[in-house]
Amino acid sequence: MNKILYILIILFGASCINQAQNLERQKVFADSLFNSENYFDAITEYKRLQFFSEASENYYEINMQIALCYKAGGKYDDAIKYFNLAKLIAKSSEESRKIELQIIRTNILRRTIPEALVLLNKLDITNTNYLDFSTISYWKGWAYLMNDDWEQASNEFEKIDKFHPLKILADGVCNKKYSVGFAKFISFVLPGSGQFYTGNYVSGVFSLGWNILWGYVTINAFMTDRALEGILVGSLLWTRFYRGNFQNAEKFAIKNNNEISNNAYEYLANKYLGEKP
Partner 1 sequence: MKRYLKVNLLILSILFSIVAISQLLAQTEKSNIFSDKNRLAFGNYLFCEHDYLRAVDEFSAVLKNSWNDTLQFKIAESYARMQQFNQAYTEFQKLEEKSALNTQGEYEKLRMLFKSENYSRLQKEVEKSKLISSNNYFHLLRLMNSSMLLSNAQLPPKSSFLYLYEEDDKSKIAEFYNWKQNPPYKSPTKAAIMSIIPGLGKIYANEIGDGITSFILTGLFTYLAVNKFEKQQQSSAWLYTAFAAFFYSGNIYGSVAAVQNYNAGIKFNFDNEIKVFINERNQFLPTPKFLCE
* Contact footprint for partner 1 (CB under 8 A): 1-2, 4-5, 8-9, 11-12, 15-16, 18-19, 22-23, 26, 43-44, 47-48, 51-52, 228-229, 232, 236
Q: In 3D, which of 207, 275, 196 has the Cα closest to residue 241?
A: 207
- When the beta carbons of 41 and 158 are compared against partner 1, the nearer one is 41
Q: Decide: 167 and 264 in contact? Cβ < 8 Å.
A: no
Quote the least distance from Cβ 113 to partner 1, whole Å.
28
- When the beta carbons of 141 and 230 are compared against partner 1, the nearer one is 230
- When the beta carbons of 61 and 250 are compared against partner 1, the nearer one is 61
Alpha helices, H only, the chain:
2-35, 39-52, 59-72, 76-88, 93-109, 113-122, 133-146, 150-160, 165-176, 180-189, 193-197, 201-223, 227-233, 239-270
Q: In 3D, which of 83, 143, 85 has the Cα closest to residue 109?
A: 143
Quote the least distance from Cβ 80 to partner 1, whole Å.
16
Quote the least distance from Cβ 153 to partner 1, whole Å.
37
Quote the least distance from Cβ 137 to partner 1, whole Å.
38
- When the beta carbons of 48 and 176 are compared against partner 1, the nearer one is 48
Quote the CA–CA distance of 87 and 73 in Å, as a whole number.
Answer: 21
- When the beta carbons of 11 and 118 are compared against partner 1, the nearer one is 11
Quote the CA–CA distance of 238 and 36 in Å, as a whole number.
Answer: 63
Quote the least distance from Cβ 205 to partner 1, whole Å.
24
